[in-house]
Amino acid sequence: MFERLITPVVHLLLAFAALLIFLMGFLVVADVIGRGAFSSPVQGTPELVSMGIVIICFLLAGHAVQSGGMLKADILVGAFGRSGQSFAELLSGILGAVFFGLVVWGGIDPAIYAWTSSEFEGEGALRVPAWPARFIVVGGAALVVVIYLGKAFRALQALVRGRTPAA
């Protein structure tokens, strides 16, 4: 049930991140061509790219955690048997939820401030609003917290039943 609710959201964010990467590639190429051929770069490229990278990372974070793409030492965990694997998955889920929960907690006030104060990145020709990136960081981290808690819950169930947790 949990997977059926979260997976479409994760895949939607994955598709949106892929689109942003694609568009950002065109922006960078246009900036390089404009800079080299016409001595006139695309205004605001550094601001858009730096903000875009942060947005893309947090759009992809949920997929990285859900798909098991986060770094882990399988050889070490595998040496401890089924209960060791379940315990490692439980501990990983709890620690991941705590870490990203702190990101959510620490990011809410700056996101609200960026919205209410009309905070911008960049100077000159293009000023990029900061609130979309800040809210995506908070939302992406909140999604990761939910996914990590789901993994921890499944690991706890597996530990109680004496099985290896499902991926």
Q: pLDDT tens digits for 46-75?
A: 889 999 999 999 999 999 999 887 766 666
pLDDT at 162 over 80: no
Please say whether the beta carbons of 98 and 154 come within 8 A. no
Q: What is the pLDDT of residue 4?
A: 86
Q: What is the pLDDT of residue 140?
A: 97
Please say whether the beta carbons of 87 and 166 come within 8 A. no
Across the chain, mean pLDDT equals 89
Q: Using CA atoms in the order 131, 136, 138, 139, what is the torsion angle rounded to 10 degrees?
A: 130
Beta bridge partners of 129: 120
CA separation for the pair 96, 151 (Å, rounded): 10
Domain boundary assignment for the chain: 2-161
Residue-wise DSSP of 85-118? HHHHHHHHHHHHHHHHHHHHHHHHHHHHHHHHTT
Average pLDDT over residues 93-102: 97
Query: What pLDDT, in 10s, does the model give residues 102-144?
Result: 999 999 999 999 999 999 887 767 888 999 999 999 999 999 9
Please say whether the beta carbons of 108 and 141 come within 8 A. no
Q: What is the pLDDT of residue 76?
A: 65
Q: Is 147 helix (H, G, I), strand (E, B) or coil?
A: helix
CA separation for the pair 111, 76 (Å, rounded): 39
Higher model confidence: residue 73 or residue 7?
A: 7
For the chain, give the percent of residues with pLDDT over 70: 90
**Interacting residues of 158 by C-beta distance below 8 A, sequence separation 6+:** 82, 86, 89, 164, 165, 166
Average pLDDT over residues 92-108: 97
Q: Is 128 helix (H, G, I), strand (E, B) or coil?
A: strand
pLDDT at 5 over 70: yes
pTM for the model: 0.88
